[in-house]
Amino acid sequence: MQLIPAIDLKDGKCVRLTQGDIKRMDVFSDNPVSVAKKWESLGAGIIHVVDLDGAFTGNTINLETIKKILDAVKIPIQLGGGIRSLDTIEKYIKMGISRVVIGTAAVKNPKLVKETVELYGERIIVGIDARNEKVTIKGWVETSPVNCYELAREMEQIGVKRIIFTDVSKDGMMEGPNIKSIKKMLKQTTLKVIASGGISSIEDIMALKQIDDDNLEGVIVGKALYTQKIDYKRTQKLLEEGD
């Protein structure tokens, strides 16, 4: 299981939100490029970048910062936030983004997901962000009536191979992940799952690893890394020792 550091961008800065609430934001760095280089130097195999401004507005607000990150590191970048059109997806892939994460559009425009999966295969990931099993959209500001497990099955049917599954109520709370919902998602589909939300300690990560499902291929960690509650190198080593 891979430990994936997150860089959330707001106004060109590296930040973390609590439960996706813009009013509960901590700024961790004014220089996201140096943050990306740090994670690369510590051995990260991929970095998860989120354009929060894009998620809220649907526009590519942090484009220049994203370009600078791509230029600064050699490891793959996985990008989400406001990616709701084929033009945007094509632009990011041409820039060198390895994986594009589609969230809101998976609910609003599943045809777009199908079309892009046919074009780009596993470079397309669907982000399923849920609160009480209902999918949240537009930067988690709105809650749709769509059930998260039903959406996962629908995405699987149209050719998606991998999802990022986030329990919004857990994100940034440092209270541990929703193990029950992650297990349920793994049972409901054959999709590869990257878990996200609530990771606060090495114990949380090892609890995920104990699920012992090959389809649980990674975990995204943000605040716990930035507040030094999790040491990246030590944790990744522990994960690798069990493989």
Beta bridge partners, 162, equal 192
236 and 43 in contact (C-beta within 8 Å)? Answer: yes
Both tokens of 30, joined, read 């004014």
Both tokens of 139, joined, read 């930067």
> Could you give the CA distance from residue 135 to residue 60 in angstroms, rounded to a whole number?
22
Quote the Cα angle for 32-36-41, to 5°: 145
**Which member of 21, 51, 53, 129 is catalytic?**
129
Alpha helices in 7-162 (DSSP H): 32-41, 52-57, 63-72, 86-95, 104-108, 110-120, 148-157
**Which member of 8, 51, 53, 204 is catalytic?**
8
Beta bridge partners, 79, equal 49, 100
Which residue type, as a one-letter code, is found at position 161?
Answer: K
In the residue annotation, 231 being an active-site residue is answered as no
172, 174, 178, 183 alpha-carbon torsion, rounded to 10°: 100
Bridging pattern class, strands 77-80 and 124-131: unpaired
Per DSSP, which regions of 19-94 are E strands?
21-29, 47-51, 77-80
In the residue annotation, 8 being an active-site residue is answered as yes
Comparing CA positions, the residue from 62, 34, 61 lying closest to residue 47 is: 34
202 and 189 in contact (C-beta within 8 Å)? Answer: no
Known catalytic residues?
8, 129
